[in-house]
């Protein structure tokens, strides 16, 4: 899931990335908006909670991202705005920040 919050006075969009996988023990977000550096995602302690992280991205852009799960596999977001092919023969999720 992706939730977007636009600011009237800033040229930024706060994007909440949410990944639901009850069997996962560690999830990070990686994206071109931060040089593909892993952003740790946190999970609430209650059962059935999703992993979440927020990032502020420039308005009016398109950004590729993926989730890295348990240090072993990549996952896309089912709610992404688009999917683009990547250099590894797979696809990346895309989030846009157009108002």
64: nearest Cα among 37, 91, 26, 27: 91
The pLDDT score that the predictor gives to residue 44 is 77
pLDDT band at 17 (very low <50, low <70, confident <90, very high): very high
77: nearest Cα among 9, 39, 31: 31
- CA gap 30, 16 in Å, rounded: 13
CATH number at residue 49: 2.60.40.10
pLDDT digits (tens, 9 = 90+) for 53-90: 999 999 999 999 999 999 999 999 999 999 999 999 99
Counting the structural domains of the chain, the total is 1
Q: Which domain holds residue 16?
A: 2-96
pLDDT digits (tens, 9 = 90+) for 21-60: 988 999 999 999 999 999 999 997 777 789 999 999 999 9
Sign of CA dihedral 54, 94, 2, 24: negative
Distances (CA, A) of 25 to 9, 43, 68, 97: 38, 9, 11, 29
């Amino acid at each position: 899931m992706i939730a977007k919050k636009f600011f009237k006075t800033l040229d930024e969009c706060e994007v909440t990335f949410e990944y639901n996988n009850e069997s996962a023990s560690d999830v990070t977000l990686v994206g071109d908006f931060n040089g593909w550096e892993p952003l740790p995602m946190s999970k609430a302690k209650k059962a059935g909670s999703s992993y979440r992280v927020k990032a502020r991205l420039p308005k009016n852009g398109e950004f590729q991202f993926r989730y890295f799960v348990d240090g072993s596999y990549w996952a896309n977001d089912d709610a992404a705005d688009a999917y683009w092919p990547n250099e590894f023969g797979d696809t990346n999720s895309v989030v846009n920040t157009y108002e």
